C-alpha cells in the first residue's frame, strides 16, 4: 500500500504521498499541494526541500557517508582515478576497458581552445580573479560551438558537448593562471593524461618542462575525486536551475562556477588559507580566533568549519588530511599553517560551542594546504575546486535534461510587501 502523510489545513484533511529513497531517505511529495489546496510550502535556503530525485550521489551527513553511484568515496580515492570517476558520475557505471578508452580519446581530442580566445585572456587586468575569468571563458566557449547550443540535442551532440567542456576547461583554467602570473600560455600536450596535461599547461615555462611526480599526481587526483560531486549543493543546484530553462551546458556551468566562488561555498578554500596566514602573522594564537568565531557580535566565522549537511566529520576532510601530511612530507615542506590548522581543529572539536552545533572541519579546511604545497597560488584554489566539480555538475545537468516530463525550475514565494496602493506624483510627495 502506498504510504501517505496526513496534513490538516485549517480543519480540512489532505493526504500527501511519501517517497522513499533506496537508502531509506523519506520525503513528503508536495508537488500537487498548491494546485489542490492553494497552499505552498515555505523553506528559505531549501534546508528541507528535495528539489529532485537523483541517482548520482548519496550523503548521510549524520554518519559521515559519501558515495558516488553507490561507491564509497574512500574506496574511489584509493583505487580509482579522476577520469574514471568522471565517467562513473556522468554515465552511471564504471566504464569497461573499451568505454574508458573511447571516453579518454574523446576528451583528450579537444584539448585546444580556439586561437582567438587567447586575446580574451590578454584583455583582463593581471590582478583579475581567475574565477571571474574562468566563468566568463566557459560561457564564451558557447560562441565557438554554436552547433552545440541546441536545446534538444541528439545523444551524439550531447557527448560532443560534454567531452569538449571537460577537456577545454583545463586549458581555460591554466591560461587564467598564466595570465595572472604574467607568463606565456603553454599549449596542451594531448599525449599526456588529463591531469598531467593540466599541470603541464600550468607549470611548464620556456625555461623548464614540468614533470609532476607520482605523489603530486596522486594527491591531485584524490582532491579532484573528492570535489567531483556533492549532490544538491549551492553550485549544483544553480547548474540545474539555469539548465532547466534549456540554456546550453556552457551557460549553466558558467553560472555554477559563479555560485561556487562564494566564501560560504567553494571560495572557502581560499578563505581558509587567508585565515590561517592571518593567525600565523598574528603570532599563531588560534584560541583568540576561536573566541572571535563564537562571538555573535563578530561576523568572523571559522572558515573550513561547518556544513549544511554534515553534522559529523566530513569524510572528505579526513581523506584530505591524510594526503596533506603525505604531500608535505614527500616534498619536504614545513608549512606552519598545517600546525595551526591541526591546533585549531583540536581546539574547536573540544569546544562546547562547536560540539553543540556539530561543527566539524569540512572539505576546504585542509585542501588549501595541499594546493599551496603544489605551488598553486591562493586565488587559484577555487578554480581547482571547479575543475574537480565539473563532472558532478555535468552529471546533474544530464540527469535533469534527460528526465521525461522535466519542467523549468520556478520556486514560489510568500509576498509580504505593501498591498495595492495608488501612485502619488513626485510634486505631491512632500519631504522626509
Ligand atoms: N564558525 C562559527 N560558527 C559557525 C560556523 C563557523 N564556520 N558555521 C556555522 N556556525 C554557527 C552559526 O553561527 C549558527 O550558530 P547559531 O545557531 O548560534 O546561530 C550555527 O552554527 C548553525 O549555522 P548555520 O549558518 O545555520 O549553518 P548553515 O548550514 O546555514 O551554513 C555553512 C553552513 C555556510 C557551510 C557555514 O557552516 C559556514 O559559513 N562555514 C564556513 C564557510 C565554509 O567553510 N564553507 C564551505 C562549506 S563546504 C563547501 O561548500 C564546499
Q: 161-173, pLDDT tens digit by residue?
A: 999 999 999 999 9
Q: Is residue 417 part of a domain?
A: no
Q: What are phi and psi of 71, to 5 degrees?
A: -90, 135
Query: Are residues 222 and 92 part of one domain?
Result: yes
Q: Is residue 70 part of a domain?
A: no
User: So what's the pLDDT on residue 127?
Assistant: 87
Number of separate domains in the chain: 3
User: So what's the pLDDT on residue 211?
Assistant: 85
Helices (H), 42-129: 73-79, 82-91, 97-108, 117-123
Q: Is residue 254 part of a domain?
A: yes
Query: Are residues 285 and 222 part of one domain?
Result: no
Query: Are residues 257 and 276 part of one domain?
Result: no
Nearest to 138 by CA among 353, 390, 431, 404: 390
Q: Is residue 249 part of a domain?
A: yes
pLDDT grade for 426, boundaries at 50, 70 and 90? very high
Query: Are residues 233 and 105 part of one domain?
Result: yes
Query: Whose C-alpha lies nearest to ligand 1, atom 28?
Result: 308
Report the b/e string of 358-375 with b at 16+ CB within 10 A: ebbbbbbbbbbbbbbbbe
User: So what's the pLDDT on residue 130?
Assistant: 93
CB count within 10 Å of CB 293 equals 21
> How many angstroms is it from 148 CA to the middle of ligand 1?
39
Range of the domain at 233: 82-262+391-401
CB count within 10 Å of CB 429 equals 8
> How many angstroms is it from 263 CA to the middle of ligand 1?
11
Query: Whose C-alpha lies nearest to ligand 1, atom 24?
Result: 308
- Is the CB–ligand 1 distance for residue 293 below 6 Å? yes
Tell which one of 59, 306, 308 to mutate to probe ligand 1, the residue whose CB is within 8 A of the most ligand atoms. Answer: 306
Domain of residue 42, CATH code: 2.20.28
Dihedral sign computed on CA atoms, order 226, 227, 228, 231: positive
The pLDDT of 322-348, averaged and rounded, is: 90
Domain of residue 323, CATH code: 1.10.230.10
Query: Whose C-alpha lies nearest to ligand 1, atom 12?
Result: 357
Round the average pLDDT of the chain to a whole number and report it.
Answer: 93
Q: 251-288, pLDDT tens digit by residue?
A: 999 999 999 999 999 999 989 999 999 999 999 888 89
> How many angstroms is it from 160 CA to the middle of ligand 1?
39
- Is the CB–ligand 1 distance for residue 357 below 6 Å? yes
Domain of residue 88, CATH code: 1.10.580.10
Q: What are the catalytic residues?
A: 307, 364
pLDDT grade for 85, boundaries at 50, 70 and 90? very high
Query: Are residues 110 and 243 part of one domain?
Result: yes
Q: Is residue 69 part of a domain?
A: no
The helix (run of H) or strand (run of E) holding residue 136 is helix 130-144
Separation CA 365–CA 356 (nearest Å): 20
Query: Are residues 290 and 242 part of one domain?
Result: no
The pLDDT of 222-237, averaged and rounded, is: 97
Query: Are residues 104 and 234 part of one domain?
Result: yes
- Is the CB–ligand 1 distance for residue 300 below 6 Å? no
Q: Is residue 244 part of a domain?
A: yes
Please give the C-alpha separations between residue 247 and each of 137, 140, 254, 391, in angstroms, as whole numbers: 16, 14, 11, 18
> How many angstroms is it from 340 CA to the middle of ligand 1?
20
With a cut of 90, say whether residue 102 has pLDDT above it: yes
> How many angstroms is it from 47 CA to the middle of ligand 1?
13
Query: Are residues 118 and 141 part of one domain?
Result: yes
Query: Are residues 251 and 272 part of one domain?
Result: no
Q: Are 273 and 374 in contact (CB under 8 A)?
A: no
pLDDT grade for 151, boundaries at 50, 70 and 90? confident
- Is the CB–ligand 1 distance for residue 266 below 6 Å? yes
Query: Are residues 149 and 246 part of one domain?
Result: yes
pLDDT grade for 132, boundaries at 50, 70 and 90? very high
Atom number, ligand 1, closest to the C-alpha of residue 266: 51
Query: Whose C-alpha lies nearest to ligand 1, atom 15?
Result: 357
Q: Where are the beta strands (DSSP E) in 143-262?
A: none
Task: Please tell me whether the overall predicted TM-score, pTM, comes out greater than 0.75 for this model.
Answer: yes
Q: Is residue 306 part of a domain?
A: yes
User: So what's the pLDDT on residue 198?
Assistant: 94
| CA angle 409–415–420, rounded 5-degree value | 130
pLDDT grade for 126, boundaries at 50, 70 and 90? confident
Query: Are residues 238 and 277 part of one domain?
Result: no
- Is the CB–ligand 1 distance for residue 364 below 6 Å? yes
User: So what's the pLDDT on residue 82?
Assistant: 98
Q: Is residue 255 part of a domain?
A: yes
Query: Are residues 278 and 249 part of one domain?
Result: no
Amino acid at each position: 500500500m502506498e504510504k501517505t502523510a496526513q496534513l490538516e489545513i485549517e480543519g480540512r484533511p489532505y493526504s500527501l504521498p511519501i517517497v522513499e529513497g533506496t537508502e531509506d531517505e523519506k520525503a513528503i511529495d508536495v508537488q500537487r499541494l498548491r494546485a489542490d489546496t492553494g497552499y505552498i510550502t515555505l523553506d528559505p535556503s531549501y534546508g528541507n526541500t528535495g528539489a529532485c530525485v537523483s541517482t548520482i550521489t548519496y550523503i548521510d551527513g549524520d554518519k559521515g557517508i559519501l558515495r558516488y553511484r553507490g561507491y564509497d568515496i574512500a574506496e574511489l580515492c584509493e583505487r580509482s582515478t579522476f577520469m574514471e570517476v568522471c565517467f562513473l558520475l556522468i554515465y552511471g557505471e564504471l566504464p569497461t576497458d573499451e568505454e574508458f578508452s573511447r571516453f579518454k580519446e574523446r576528451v583528450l581530442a579537444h584539448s585546444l581552445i580556439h586561437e582567438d580566445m587567447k586575446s580574451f585572456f590578454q584583455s583582463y587586468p593581471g590582478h583579475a580573479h581567475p574565477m571571474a575569468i574562468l566563468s566568463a571563458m566557459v560561457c564564451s566557449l558557447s560562441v565557438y560551438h554554436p552547433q552545440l547550443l541546441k536545446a534538444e540535442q541528439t545523444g551524439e551532440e550531447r557527448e560532443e558537448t560534454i567531452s569538449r567542456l571537460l577537456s577545454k576547461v583545463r586549458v581555460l583554467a591554466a591560461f587564467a593562471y598564466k595570465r595572472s602570473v604574467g607568463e606565456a600560455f603553454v599549449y596542451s600536450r594531448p599525449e599526456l593524461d588529463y591531469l598531467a596535461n593540466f599541470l603541464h599547461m600550468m607549470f611548464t615555462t620556456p625555461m623548464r618542462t614540468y614533470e609532476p611526480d607520482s605523489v603530486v599526481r596522486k594527491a591531485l587526483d584524490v582532491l579532484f575525486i573528492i570535489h567531483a560531486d556533492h549532490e544538491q549543493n549551492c553550485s549544483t543546484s544553480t547548474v540545474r536551475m539555469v539548465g532547466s530553462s534549456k540554456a546550453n551546458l556552457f551557460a549553466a556551468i558558467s553560472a555554477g562556477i559563479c555560485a561556487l566562488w562564494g566564501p560560504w561555498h567553494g571560495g572557502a578554500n581560499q578563505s581558509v588559507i587567508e585565515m590561517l596566514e592571518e593567525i600565523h602573522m598574528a603570532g599563531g594564537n588560534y584560541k583568540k580566533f576561536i573566541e572571535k568565531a563564537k562571538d555573535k557580535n563578530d561576523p568572523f566565522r571559522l572558515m573550513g568549519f561547518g556544513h549544511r549537511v554534515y553534522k559529523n566529520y566530513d569524510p572528505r576532510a579526513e581523506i584530505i588530511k591524510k594526503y596533506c601530511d603525505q604531500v608535505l612530507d614527500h616534498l619536504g615542506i614545513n608549512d606552519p599553517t598545517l600546525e595551526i590548522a591541526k591546533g585549531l581543529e583540536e581546539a574547536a572539536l573540544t569546544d562546547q560551542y562547536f560540539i553543540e552545533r556539530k561543527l566539524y572541519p569540512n572539505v576546504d579546511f585542509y585542501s588549501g594546504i595541499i594546493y599551496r604545497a603544489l605551488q598553486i597560488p591562493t586565488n587559484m584554489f577555487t578554480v581547482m575546486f571547479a575543475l574537480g566539480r565539473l563532472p558532478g555538475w555535468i552529471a546533474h545537468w544530464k540527469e535533469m535534461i534527460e528526465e521525461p516530463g522535466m519542467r523549468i525550475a520556478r520556486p514560489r514565494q510568500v509576498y509580504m510587501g505593501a498591498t495595492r496602493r495608488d501612485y502619488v506624483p513626485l510634486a505631491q510627495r512632500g519631504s522626509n
